[in-house]
Chain A
Amino acid sequence: MTLAEKILAAHAGKARVDPGELVNARVDLVLSNDITAPIAIREFRRIGVSRVFDPRKVVMVPDHFTPNKDILSAEQARLVRDFALEQGLVYFEVGRMGIEHVLLPEQGLVLPGDVVIGADSHTCTYGALGAFSTGMGSTDIASAMASGEIWMKVPATIRFVYRGSLPQWVGGKDLILHTIGDIGVDGALYSAMEFSGEAVRNLSMDGRFTMANMAIEAGAKAGLFAVDEATEEYVRDRARRPYQVYQPDRDAGYERVVEYDISRIEPQVACPHSPANTRPVSQVGGIEIDQAVIGSCTNGRLEDLRIAARVLRGRQVHPRVRCIVIPGSQRVYLEALREGLMEVFVGSGAAVSTPTCGPCLGGYMGVLAAGERCVSTTNRNFVGRMGSPQSEVYLSNPAVAAASAVAGRIVSPVEVAG
């Protein structure tokens, strides 16, 4: 069996599962946020149970429109807070929270071998830990909050093998953008992506989170990495409960195997208006930008901020550009502060925000006007994603975003920082 099949079989109490099979799986964690939890709570009340199945396994994170961006958002956040306190759920308040998919692994709430469902499409991020995690809607989340189970169709698995060593300024974001550019936004529809090969074995955990995070941008149900020393090292001091490590079988059945030699790839940029509209940065054509966003559940981790700071150190953000840096969690923020990264950002003329999803989905903290262009380390560049339907979003890694903020146009980090 593949990694996804092994985890699902174990959680369905079966010796074996096959792609296409419908299973009822036990869930280890059920997640929602300030936008999706209100509907989940409403539907949960309709079921007629008074308590969630296990309050230690239900997490609510106010991260999308928080700190509250307007009165209606404040009402939604309050509804979520009241429910979380009433039920004794795992809950993180503003000032202690983070963007959910940065926060949960960091807090040791997701561990290898887990099945996690979340009312947020980027729940697939936790595949980096060797967990099966996937996004669903609020009603599915309500059902799982009541029952501790969820029905799922076992996905077929596509194996991706990345050969070679990572070139300078190339990271997890570039591998996944390159992949989505190759297979398309529905290239892995209904499937699990299993990432392997020496290039990803040499990738940091932060880089793996970035790759798994964007599996949904290829239509996938999950994006998984097998557990190795880096994973064990990451969870060692974080895990507060036992966990089970699953490895894919050598003779596992894959729907197909896709191989890439990444030794010569450049940093990748996804041009408007699709994450699959990917080009090497040198072929983007020096597009002038108005804004650069560095952060999000895709690229808001410590390594991302270190890379951005390496480019921005001793340089100034272009006079025409707003550069917005958003650490993914309170802990990332504190570490970045201790390492002196915040001084680099503020000194270079960037705006630094408390953790929030804000600008990524055009919520607040960096909404775009008509005709404006933004280079962003986030995950989607659909029409109107970050504001006006007449604005444009270019997706990139943190080095490209930082270098472009300095140059005022989309450039390779080599041009700015060598």
Chain B
Amino acid sequence: MKLSGTVHKYGVNVDTDAIIPARYLNVSEGAELAKHAMEGIDVQFVNRVSAGDFIVAGANFGCGSSREHAPLAIKASGVACVVAGSFARIFFRNAINIGLPILTCEEVVAGTESGDTLEIDLETGRIRNVTRGTVYRAQPYPQFMLELIAAGGLIEHTRARLKARGVIP
């Protein structure tokens, strides 16, 4: 799938309290959470973001709490993909599990600024900065991750496994 959108860029160690402050965790619906996406670091994000945009950030994106509300808020805000230098491990799992596309690529972070237009091919991991005319390649997903994504996410994958075992008819 080829995506095209505008970049919102942030620094390193963007934590889950920045992505969705805990005071909003008394709800769990994506649409509600999206009203406060990135509020801890950028109160204007929700006013600027358009469907199909990208977040580009430095290393250790999504560090801190295990709250799945963080990728849910980003996804429901319309962001089509997060590209970061690296991801905190719980955020990485959560994003895959809820179907928020994420790519790891250090070089694109260095060569991209807010407002740039990117084209991202999720299948190949090819990222083109249209504004600057540069091309990058993100790290490929491990094989197991591709199977999870192909199955439609962890819940579908689990259901298939339990069906195969006869736990679910």
Interface residues of A (CB under 8 A from B): 22, 35-36, 38-39, 42-43, 46-49, 64-65, 69-70, 72-73, 76, 118-121, 123, 135-140, 142-143, 146-147, 151, 153, 185-186, 189-190, 216, 219, 221, 274, 361-363, 367, 380, 382-385, 389
Contact = CB atoms under 8 A, between A and B. Distances in A.
B48 interface: no
B154 interface: yes
Contacts of B142: 22, 153
Interface string B23-60: 10111100000000000110000000000000000011
Given A69-B26, A135-B66, A147-B161, 16 more contacts: A39-B68, A42-B28, A47-B162, A64-B25, A137-B66, A137-B68, A138-B68, A139-B68, A139-B98, A140-B94, A142-B158, A143-B154, A143-B157, A147-B162, A363-B23, A389-B40
Contacts of B90: 121, 135-137
B5 to A, nearest CB: 25
A22 B144 contact: yes
Given A136-B93, A382-B64, A49 B28 contact: no
A70 B26 contact: yes
Contact of B159 (A47, A73, A140, A382): A47
A318 B42 CA distance: 35
B15 interface: yes
Given A139-B154, A142-B155, A76 B28 contact: yes
B89 interface: yes
Nearest to A385: B17
B159 A186 contact: no
A138 B95 CA distance: 11
Contacts of B17: 361-362, 380, 382-385
Given A22-B142, A135-B66, A189 B18 contact: no
Nearest to B26: A72
Contacts of A151: 144
Contacts of B23: 362-363, 367
A389 B42 CA distance: 10
B13 A274 contact: yes
B60 A189 contact: yes
B28 A121 contact: no
A333 B60 CA distance: 37
21 contacts: A35-B26, A47-B159, A65-B25, A121-B64, A136-B66, A137-B93, A138-B68, A139-B98, A140-B93, A140-B97, A142-B158, A143-B155, A147-B158, A186-B60, A189-B88, A361-B22, A362-B21, A363-B23, A382-B40, A384-B21, A385-B17
B112 interface: no
Interface string B126-169: 00000000000000001010000000011101110110000110
B168 A35 contact: no
A137 B15 contact: no
Contacts of B66: 36, 118-121, 123, 135-137
A137 B41 contact: no
Nearest to A146: B158
Contacts of A42: 28
A64 to B, nearest CB: 8
B60 A219 contact: yes
B67 interface: yes
A143 B93 contact: no
Contacts of A384: 17-18, 21, 40
Given A72-B27, A189-B60, A190-B89, A382 B97 contact: no
Contacts of A65: 25-26
B63 interface: yes
Contacts of B77: none
B60 to A, nearest CB: 4
Nearest to A72: B26
Contacts of A137: 66-68, 71, 90, 93-94, 97-98
B42 to A, nearest CB: 10
A73 B25 CA distance: 8
A139 B68 CA distance: 8
A179 to B, nearest CB: 16
B15 A47 contact: no
Contacts of B97: 137, 139-140
Nearest to B159: A47
A47 B158 contact: yes
The list of the 3 closest CB pairs from A to B, nearest first, reads A137-B94, A72-B26, A361-B22
A143 B68 CA distance: 14
A384 to B, nearest CB: 5
B65 interface: yes
A270 B93 CA distance: 28
A83 B72 CA distance: 22
B161 to A, nearest CB: 7
B68 A47 contact: no
A83 to B, nearest CB: 13
Given A22-B142, A185-B63, A139 B18 contact: no
Contact of B22 (A49, A121, A362): A362
B86 A189 contact: yes
B53 to A, nearest CB: 23
A121 B64 CA distance: 7
